[in-house]
Structure 1
């Protein structure tokens, strides 16, 4: 991608975007049905950690409901919430919401009602950070992980080194799978239209996927296909709980604690993941990469490699700009384009795109701790 395209939120880029897609005639703004969801546009709000729940209870309030309402009112097709943890030990940041108590479910209901009143569709991203935590965040218990190997670095927004985690027993794993299934049922009780399983970015499920963090010798360890056992079991449990047509699964090579990590053989890894998803009956996947246009193998991007082996629904993400998203939709590489930080900075994102208006740039200094 050129330097000009990297500056995608400048007015010059918006002019080229307007010329390319002719405003409202864009593929981005076409209605689409994926799974059980009738989306108004082929756009999604990517999950972004915001940390605005009550830190003690994990309950979200009216401010969070209003935040998602504004994006729904603008016409975003699918809203994927920030990560919502499935248990107290899944917490890795202050202010993270949960979906394991009745009070948390009731807080989520405020969010779903607000989005549905605006005609929107919203799913809960269910999450467990695993070893990327600290005992003071995880109920004064050691973080959980496939193996007792600490991550390098410090906990974001907490500024303490990652703790040495506790290697999970088979009983722990069985409990975890049940927690994911229950969180999915709780999401439906709260009125969410479905869930996304966060199996990416070096969090607990992805820690089992990786030979860096998984040194197990039981059936949850071994080569990549074998290490995907937990991901498969969680996905199957969630599908059994709420249906494949309401279950999205996110995966990646990227690790929050090791941003430069990449699979040794990306195409082989992607094919292995896709085979695992097919095995358990998944129909919708969300491949995640930091830069959508990055070529991984055989002249193809991650999403193009995924499409080579997968004919189900693909949600595309990776610092997408409108022009790249439009082309990916037109060529059939992805079915829905997800945008992240532009939707923090621009609650009226869809309106601005349709009218060729300049987008505001995301500014972490002023917008990281603010809900707009």
Structure 2
């Protein structure tokens, strides 16, 4: 085995007994995956900023990861409408031109034997009118976020509270985005319901002060999320639909549910009611204990017997252990895939990984 750097050792990047689980094939939903390793969704902002169309550099970026043998690729966040945009340079999935651009990506991934789904996304209040078609951002309530728009460096705008008609329109946009993703050759979609974006804004009492049917206690606030999930499932099937959720919010990084177990139990019931079968609990720290000595993924598994994608600064040893214990079914890795297009090859061979460096890797597409 080659020498492994001290930093990589601390991250657990060792070729020690990992083949038994991480590298074995698995069927989840409609997808026959080559391994239990997923590439997590990673915002790169390399699409054309005016059209939201991905180019040949994005084609090659994903092709390399597919050629490496990753089981599942979850695309970077892909907005469902011009008003859903919250970062410069992010791709869309609402125009014919965008569909054509993504079709080149999915063709390249499939030629390499890969499976790829689109993460469909609406940022809600975490935007600025200059990004959102010169319209105010949309949100459940007219409560602005604090801070500056990521990669845009202007203060968040005061959002426009969505009417019932607006809500129905956006639900239809999620449904159409899912259909567009299939037309673009994606194998399915992940609904981005996490990290303080639109769906999560409805889910949270910080951002949702509504007094109608979309407000109230947590179970009632999840109504919008359930309707989005149902609409997407109706469009493309539950076997091609995943939902991502979390307590973490990009604009409130230290936020946590008051009662994590109660919250997770309520979310899981909502997923079941909506007909979901695959979920992606998101956390910034996979091994953080939330309640009763359990992590978020362990608490989810306590109430959910469907597919779970695990994520959150995972290293391969942690991931392998979680799979062996039955806590998760597939392990998603993020930044290691940015720095290492041959991430899986390096794991299998014991070759040293290049450590993600924000100054080196954030603004490059390799």
TM-score (norm. length: structure 1):
0.96
1:366 CA displacement? 1.2
- What is the SS of the residue equivalent to 1:241? helix
1:3 — aligned with what? none
Q: Describe the superposition over 1:5-35 as per-residue Cα deviations: whole angstroms up to 9, x where unpaired.
A: xx9983434787323x1x5x33000000000
- What is the SS of the residue equivalent to 1:10? helix
Does the 8 Å contact 2:78/2:120 carry over to 1?
A: yes
Matched, 1:62 2:56: yes
2:331 — aligned with what? 337
Distance 1:16 1:321 in 2: 7
Does the 8 Å contact 1:128/1:203 carry over to 2?
A: yes
Residues matched between the structures, number: 363
1:167 CA displacement? 0.1
Distance 2:259 2:12 in 1: 38
1:357 CA displacement? 1.3
1:268 — aligned with what? 262
2:32 — aligned with what? 38
2:92 — aligned with what? 98
Q: Describe the superposition over 1:202-251 as per-residue Cα deviations: whole angstroms up to 9, x where unpaired.
A: 00000000000000000000000000000000000000000000000000
Task: Give structure 2 stretches of 5+ with no counterpart.
Answer: none
Distance 1:226 1:74 in 2: 43
Distance 1:76 1:18 in 2: 17
2:345 — aligned with what? 351
Does the 8 Å contact 1:200/1:288 carry over to 2?
A: yes
- What is the SS of the residue equivalent to 1:314? strand
Does the 8 Å contact 1:58/1:95 carry over to 2?
A: yes
Distance 2:141 2:5 in 1: 41
1:225 — aligned with what? 219
Residue 12 of structure 1: which of 9, 13, 26 is its match? 9
Matched, 1:145 2:139: yes
Distance 1:168 1:71 in 2: 39
2:74 — aligned with what? 80
- What is the SS of the residue equivalent to 1:17? coil
- What is the SS of the residue equivalent to 1:315? strand
1:79 CA displacement? 0.2
1:283 CA displacement? 0.2
1:168 — aligned with what? 162
Distance 1:26 1:361 in 2: 25
TM-score (norm. length: structure 2):
0.97
Distance 1:275 1:117 in 2: 38
1:131 CA displacement? 0.2
Runs of 4 or more, structure 1, over 4 Å off, are: 13-16
Matched, 1:279 2:273: yes
Matched, 1:254 2:227: no
Does the 8 Å contact 2:12/2:317 carry over to 1?
A: no
Distance 2:137 2:150 in 1: 15
- What is the SS of the residue equivalent to 2:91? coil
Distance 1:8 1:267, change over 3 A: farther
1:289 CA displacement? 0.4
- What is the SS of the residue equivalent to 2:15? helix
Distance 1:12 1:137 in 2: 42
1:316 — aligned with what? 310
- What is the SS of the residue equivalent to 1:213? coil
User: CA RMSD, aligned part only?
Assistant: 1.3
Distance 1:8 1:256 in 2: 31
Distance 1:218 1:104 in 2: 36
- What is the SS of the residue equivalent to 1:327? helix
Q: Describe the superposition over 1:169-190 as per-residue Cα deviations: whole angstroms up to 9, x where unpaired.
A: 0000000000000000000000
1:158 — aligned with what? 152
- What is the SS of the residue equivalent to 1:89? helix
1:89 — aligned with what? 83
